[in-house]
A and B are shown apart, each in its own frame.
Chain A
Amino acid sequence: MKAFEWSNPTNITEAVKLLQTAAQGADPDEAPRPMAGGQDLLTTNKHYITRPTRIVNLKGIRGLDRIEGNAKRGLKIGALATLTQIEENEEVRRSFPGLAEAALSVATPQIRNLGTIGGNLCQRPRCWYYRLEDVICLKKGGSQCYAATGENKYNAILGGGPSFIVHPSDLAPILLALNASVAVTGPSGNRQIALEKFFTLPSEGNLRRENVLQNGEVITEIQVPSSRMAARSTYLKFKERSSLDFALSAVAAAVEVGTDGVVKQARIVLGGVAPVPWRAPEAEAFLTGKKLDANILAEAAKLALRGAQPLEKNAYKVPLTQTLVRRALAKVGNVATA
């Protein structure tokens, strides 16, 4: 990797300052970077996809890895909490099961031991073309999305264009389904960003980024509000290879079902199919006020994928994702399936 300055701040203010005062580099991929678990940053650095002038190590900052709260108060998860901490946390498992499932679905035990929730949300795309150093695609300042007409089996079927990456985070869909927000500290102070507004489509934001964070901004905490849906939440991830893989498609679902069996509210967020975690509001609205059964699930699944525009080699993602939507809803809604 390209040589960089290494700094070890002990508080977040210092960290932000270190990010701000470092040389910003000529290219966005040369900007200084905060590092938590480093599981993604090290790989992009090794392949010279990112070439930060300075790496600011966040692990020396105390208290950033706490998991606090419960079903009633909601959760406050420090950005440096590892995926293992989350998947093993009793309160998360009991009251926010979808979040524990999502954490467990990531990569391998070794990576989960180091990878953090903050880092997971800020992962860079896995698109083959993006990950090859010598291919200068749209995401790296080039003029072409090679996946659009190339080998696009893993690429976006929703929200694509001009870049067709998919967002690789497993925690983002479920956190979005749970109405989570992130606390961010930056040069101009602190701000709170709802996850709903955190991720950006290539068509609407900076092509070189996948979220609204500015240079010098650091996620410090993820807040998951208490919700009547949290206890009935799930994350279904489909991997080609169970041992270690990113999602070909994934569904985060959460519902609140009244005592009469009628859905009071529902959330469906798709992963692995769009450049952002993709919410399916039409399907959510359709479910509200209905009693769940196999037909309703199938209809909701269709609605969730409405507008999908597959590329040459990823049409399979439509039926695959519909299946996952049905299965996720069946699970949270206790609907018996064949």
Chain B
Amino acid sequence: MQEPVKKKKIKVTRAVNGVEQEVEIEVDDVAGPEWGPNDKHAILNKHITRVDAPLKACGIAEYSYDKRLPGMLYGRILRSPHAHARVTRLDISAAEKIPGVRAIVIVPGEKVVEGAKKASEEADKKNPTEVGGKDIKPEREPGKVVRFEGEPVAAVAATTPEIAKDAIRAIRVEYEKLPHVVKAEEAVKPDAPKVLAEGNIEPRSKRGDQAKTTAAFAECDAVVEADYRTPIIHHSSLETHGIVVDYRGGDSATIYASTQGTFTIPDESAKELGLAQSKVTAIVEHMGGGFGSKFGIGVEGKLACMLAKQVKAPVKMMLTREDEFLMAGNRSGSWQTLKIGAKKDGTIIAFHAAQRALGGLGRGSQAGQPYSPYAGKIANAYNEIVAVKTNEDASRAMRAPGHPQASFAIESIIDELAYKIGMDPLEFRIKNLKDEVYHRQLNRAAKEIGWERRNRTPGAGSGPRKRGMGCAVGTWGGGGNKECVVDVTIARDGAVTVAVGSQDLGTGTRTYTRAIVAEEFGLQVKDIVERIGDSRLGKANASGGSTTAASLAPSVKDAAYNARNMMAERVAPLLGVKAADVTFANGKVAGGGKSLTWKQACVALPSAGLAARGQWRPNLQATGVHGACFAEVEVDVETGFVQPIKMVQVQDVGLPLNRLALESQINGGMIQSLGMALWEGRVTDNQLGVMLNPGFGDYKMPGTLEMPEMIALIDDGDTRPAVIGVGESAIIPSLGAVVNAVHNACGVRVRELPITPDKILMGLYTEARTA
């Protein structure tokens, strides 16, 4: 009788939309691959040039946006110009007459007025119209209520993008405007227009003892209470959302998608196309960023499928930049009312928080207060979180959902409190951060930026241009899941291929996938070919929650390990040693004093070569990372202009698969955070209910001239030989660091992001008046 495989239980932390949960899972207790010490790798944990860099730099890499298929049509979406309205008439007769228009679909919507519905059905009977070979009813959806500016109403497929645009403009829609609300301050008023029938305030969570916390403030020597606000932020991926549906009738289709989840595509598109899921292939060769906004086919994908199905021709539906701002999700804003109190010695003993997540029609994401690095050590804490609804596009996940908002607010108020009790903000943090990893990281970054040079008194110094420094910390999970199936094949001619359906959303998946196999075989990165981004290959998880590397890398390692063992079995007889004694290093397969080149060794393989499969191994990954950021800025107190001077960010990561990619990821986190701190934010008009800056001219992202000197430091003090994802962790601490640096420089505490010159000047003015 075969002995059952022994099992062991291990604990892993999972972060879903910023909420970490510790779960116990059962795994096989068998020998298997291990990474070995982090400093003993030949390829990994080095600076590896991105394998797709030449393709991208030369414009050869083909994105979904670049796809041009024979007979392909271009899709375009008609959006609602109103924040809240009822469609009373929708007439496509003029649009369908435009030469080149091949199909029109109307977005199915809720029908809230029965009378209108009946009237429309009667109108339909009287007046069916022929478009694209199918009956399209020109007034199919009167009664549909649109609830945000940008809500799709109809879509068109035409032979050119220009014709498609003309066609959506030719669709006549009449709206009955309904009362809207687009500002949280308005939405919370009792007489505010109702965004949803349930009301505008959705309770989400309550934690802690409110009465005890409130009482604890009496024990405090210093208390700070303030509101902190962050606006809605846009993902601003360079490639917009969208898919190309290659369907020409028949029973199968191929979908080229700009997505974070190759395997989120076939099922949803198959449903829309009326095909079997197995007959739909998703291809994600290269994709231009998602930051959490690209899972599934989305409404644009649904419309593309509907159009393609109607005309039996390929349809490309890539959003325009304006579509992207108005209907492709966003990072929820926040409005956080915080109160914090400490003893004279700097011990925080009370923290009260009322947080509002501002996710438009969505629930928003909001990490609770006190934000996790500080949680657990504060004796009395209470927080409640509600979602405040407005007539705006629903929020989606965005790089560390809810964390930058929480980090900005707590790091601001902690800074305020530190100054109030007269303690060095760095010392004050170290006193109140339990986890010593933060102490190590803070001290290292402080040394790097020269914390001792900082302004002791905010705003002090002569001349209009004043420098200041600030710091902050962040945390994330970043562990993996058992979701990836990886195949490694070795051909008899020595070619090595690693294949998995996973996508590279810009984080360097292609590169580390190769590197892990190269490391295992003693080869170079260039000796390996990776195949990814194809749903016909081994299954992989969607890239969310920084889970890709920790899910995929262990599976790749396992596949390579298995392939290596199989290879060793084959080569061992040639070397006259046991398989266990065969070594793979420096392009050589060796043992017993003999050595073969890789190619020579591969001759020992059968003519079909060999193939090995790998599964996720929990011991090869871990979860839980820390980060600390310091920023130095220069503020011109006569103009309010902020020039970032230098940023230093330290990040632990377990085993850094590719130091270059990791440093880039940390740099990217700093840049994106800097954007949120100083320039970016959705601006809406209260009266009109519309977004005023839906384009890169007016939604101001930082450019080259805004960049400070950036130092990305990998914390090698973390020696865990395990892979952890840190894409999200990297964006969290820099926001608070920049905001605190601005205050340290000029003495003005701006509590509403972005910190633009007007806010600094008005802050200085108010200060001067009250002084």
Q: Do the beta carbons of B639 and A320 come within 8 Å of each other?
A: yes
Say how far A63's CB is from chain B's closest CB, in angstroms. 33
- Contact for A243 among B81, B462, B703, CB less than 8 A: B703
Tell me which residues across on chain B come within 8 A of A243, comparing CB atoms.
702-706
Q: How far is the CA of A132 from the CA of B693 in the complex (A)?
A: 9
Instruction: Tell me, yes or no, whether B685 is within 8 Å of chain A by CB.
Output: yes
The answer to whether residues A135 and B690 also contact, given A128-B683, A150-B685, A241-B679 and a CB cut-off of 8 A, is: yes
CA distance A137 to B698 in the complex (A): 18
Contacts A151-B683, A316-B761 given; indicate if A132 touches B703 (C-beta within 8 A). Answer: no
Q: A134-B81, A316-B640 are in contact. Are A129 and B692 (CB under 8 A)?
A: yes
Mostly helix, strand, loop or mixed at chain B's interface?
A: loop
> Across the interface, do B757 and A316 meet the contact criterion of CB distance under 8 Å?
yes
Q: A320 vs B639: C-alpha distance in the bound complex, in angstroms?
A: 5
Task: Count residues of A near B (Cβ-Cβ below 8 Å).
Answer: 29
Contact A150 B686 (CB under 8 A): yes
Residue of A nearest to B761 (CB): A316
Report how far A150 CA is from B686 CA in the complex, Å: 7
- As a 0/1 sequence over residues 295 to 336 of chain A, the CB contacts with chain B under 8 angstroms (1 = contact) are 000000000000000000111100110011000000000000
Asked whether A146 is an interface residue with its Cβ less than 8 Å from the other chain, the reply is: yes
CA distance A315 to B765 in the complex (A): 10
| In the complex, chain A residues whose CB is within 8 Å of the CB of B219 | none
B536 — which chain A residues lie within 8 A by C-beta?
Answer: none
CB-based nearest B residue for A245: B700
Tell me if A110 is interfacial: C-beta within 8 Å of chain B: no
The residues in A between 45 and 72 inclusive whose CB is less than 8 angstroms from any CB of B are none
Residues in chain B near residue A134, CB distance under 8 A? 81, 690
B638 at interface (Cβ–Cβ under 8 A)? Answer: yes
* B488 nearest CB across to chain A (Å): 45
Interface residues on B, range: 20 to 34
Within 202-242 of A, Cβ neighbours of B (below 8 Å) are at 238, 240-242
Asked if A19 is at the interface of the complex by the 8 Å CB criterion, the answer is: no
B62 within 8 Å of A (CB atoms): no
- Per the bound structure, the CA–CA distance linking A150 and B698 in Å amounts to 16
Is B638 a contact of A323 with CB atoms below 8 Å?
yes
**Is the CB–CB distance between A242 and B705 below 8 Å?**
yes
Q: A128-B698, A134-B690, A240-B679 are in contact. Are A320 and B761 (CB under 8 A)?
A: yes
Tell me if B524 counts as interface (CB < 8 A to partner A).
Answer: no
Chain A residues with CB under 8 Å of B462's CB are 338
Assembled-state Cα–Cα distance A99/B583 (Å): 71
Is B758 in the interface zone, CB < 8 Å from A?
yes
Residues in chain B near residue A264, CB distance under 8 A: none
A38 to chain B, nearest CB (A): 16
**Residue B69, interface by CB 8 Å:** no
CB of B698 within 8 A of CB of A240, answer no
Interface residue from A150, A240, A313, A316 paired with B700 (Cβ < 8 Å): A240
Interface centre among B684, B692, B693, B762 (most CB of A within 10 A): B692
User: With a CB–CB cut-off of 8 A, which chain B residues contact A149?
Assistant: 687
In the complex, which residues 383-442 of chain B have their Cβ closer than 8 Å to any Cβ of chain A? none
Which of A3, A150, A240 is the one whose CB lies under 8 Å from B756?
Answer: A240
Distance in angstroms from A154 CB to nearest chain B CB is 9
Asked if B593 is an interface residue, CB under 8 A from chain A, the answer is no
User: In the bound complex, do residue B687 and residue A150 qualify as a contact, i.e. CB atoms below 8 Å apart?
Assistant: yes
The answer to whether B703 touches A146 (Cβ under 8 A) is: no
User: What's the Cα separation between A243 and B696 when bound, in Å?
Assistant: 12
Which residue of the partner chain A has the closest CB to B762? A316
Within 8 A of A (CB), among B639-685: 639-641, 679, 683-685
Contacts of A36 in B (CB 8 A): none
Closest to B694 in A: A132
**Minimum Cβ distance to chain B for residue A169 (Å):** 16
Is B464's CB within 8 Å of the partner chain A?
yes
| Complex A-B: 5 CB contacts under 8 Å | A151-B684, A242-B706, A243-B705, A319-B761, A338-B464
Residues of B in contact with A (beta carbons under 8 Å apart)? 81, 166, 462-464, 638-641, 679, 683-688, 690, 692-693, 697-698, 700, 702-706, 756-758, 761-762, 765
Name A residues whose Cβ lies closer than 8 Å to a Cβ of B.
3, 128-129, 131-132, 134-135, 146, 149-151, 153, 238, 240-245, 248, 313-316, 319-320, 323-324, 338
Known: A320-B638, A320-B639, A338-B463. 10 other contacts (CB 8 A): A128-B683, A146-B685, A151-B683, A153-B758, A241-B702, A248-B757, A316-B762, A319-B761, A319-B765, A338-B464
